[in-house]
Amino acid sequence: MSDFEGLKALVTGGASGIGRATADLLAARGAQVAVLDLDPSSVDKPLLAYQADVTDDASVRAAVAAAATELGGLDVLINNAGIGAQGTVEDNDDEQWRRVLDVNVLGMVRTARAALPHLRESAHAAIVNTCSIAATAGLPQRALYSASKGAVLSLTLAMAADHVREGIRVNCVNPGTVDTPWVGRLLDAAPDPAAERAALQARQPTGRLVTAAEVAGAIAYLASPQSGATTGTALAVDGGMQGL
Ligand code: NAD
């Protein structure tokens, strides 16, 4: 498929997991793709790589401007960089709350702010935010993470309304448990990682974790001209965990 031929995309958190699978898929489907990441050292051609921290507005603006210049514009923004947090409201202090909201919510705001002037110039402008089933599922031990993704869901709906008349679509994906380096790190921290993985798989209605490629496929759909009439929606990619 070459449905992204001629389109220019920027993927935040694109060096690993869902972001990397998305960057690779968009490039394979014909897009010119730039990755923005804290550590883009693993990113190689044909992807362009920019080092930036989504909590640092100046570094985001510099990376987005450089990517738009190098690519010759921007049609697609994949707002994907994010970090996890575990615990109840009693387990995370204010500093932890500020840190996770800064990355997961404000990080997307900063990147969108920097990218919108470029997206307005595009005939196929789309933003896709990586949200989570945590936004709506009421998961235990995930108060802070869930609140951050709830904000991403609301932000997606509000931005869709704000920018639809400018020809910019805004959607999000809600993944379930995805087999990425992030989940690998959580499993490795368990006393018996293999047993923990088996238990995690057993909790999935499909008996397996979602793959990063499956989430990338959903993101690519929402970013592609094929979904040109779709904005302000959340697409669950959760192996039947929750749906919407
Ligand atoms: P990952 O850890 O494999 O990749 C995240 C990438 O984001 C890394 O390359 C990291 O360097 C980058 N990043 C982190 N903080 C950054 C910052 N401040 N500035 C720039 N880049 C930064 O994680 P993943 O599992 O691929 O997760 C990607 C997204 O998917 C996140 O938003 C996460 O909340 C969401 N998500 C993941 C799962 C899952 O089960 N893995 C489920 C639902 C949603």
- Look at residue 180 and tell me whether its pLDDT is greater than 80: yes
pLDDT category of residue 109 using cuts at 50, 70 and 90:
very high
What average pLDDT does this structure show over 75-91? 98
Establish whether residue 78 lines the binding site of ligand 1, counting it when its CB lies within 6 angstroms of any ligand atom: no
In whole angstroms, what is the distance from residue 136 CA to residue 105 CA?
A: 16
What average pLDDT does this structure show over 108-134? 98
Fold designation for 8-177+211-237: Rossmann fold (3.40.50)
- Look at residue 243 and tell me whether its pLDDT is greater than 90: no
Pocket test for ligand 1, best of 11, 38, 172 (most atoms within 8 A of CB): 38
Per-domain residue ranges of the chain: 8-177+211-237
> Helix (H, G, I), strand (E, B), or coil: what is residue 36?
strand
How much is the ipTM here?
A: 0.99
What average pLDDT does this structure show over 225-241? 96
pLDDT of residue 240: 94
Give the H or E element holding residue 152: helix 143-163
∠ CA(241), CA(26), CA(83), 5° rounding?
50
Q: Which atom of ligand 1 is closest in space to residue 84's alpha carbon?
A: 34
Pocket test for ligand 1, best of 36, 182, 215 (most atoms within 8 A of CB): 182
Cβ-based neighbours of 65, under 8 Å, separated by 6 or more? 114
- Look at residue 101 and tell me whether its pLDDT is greater than 80: yes
Task: Summarize pLDDT for 27-75 with one digit per residue, the tens.
Answer: 999 999 999 999 999 999 999 999 999 999 999 999 999 999 999 999 9
Beta strands 234-237 and 125-130 are unpaired
- Average pLDDT, whole number, for the chain? 97
Q: How far is CA 40 from the centre of its chain?
A: 16
pLDDT of residue 1: 81
pLDDT category of residue 244 using cuts at 50, 70 and 90:
very low
Output the pTM of the full model: 0.98
For a pLDDT cut of 90, what percent of the chain falls above it? 98
- Centre of ligand 1 from the C-alpha of residue 196, in Å: 21
For a pLDDT cut of 70, what percent of the chain falls above it? 99
Establish whether residue 16 lines the binding site of ligand 1, counting it when its CB lies within 6 angstroms of any ligand atom: yes
Let me know if 145 is a catalytic residue.
yes
Q: Burial letters for 112-149: b for 16+ Cβ neighbours within 10 Å, e otherwise?
A: bebbbebbeebebbbbbbbbbbbbbbebeebbbbbbbb
Choice among 125, 145, 148, 235 that is catalytic: 145
In whole angstroms, what is the distance from residue 215 CA to residue 211 CA?
A: 7
Q: Residue 29 in contact with residue 1, Cβ under 8 Å?
A: yes
pLDDT category of residue 242 using cuts at 50, 70 and 90:
confident
In whole angstroms, what is the distance from residue 26 CA to residue 78 CA?
A: 11
What average pLDDT does this structure show over 98-111? 98
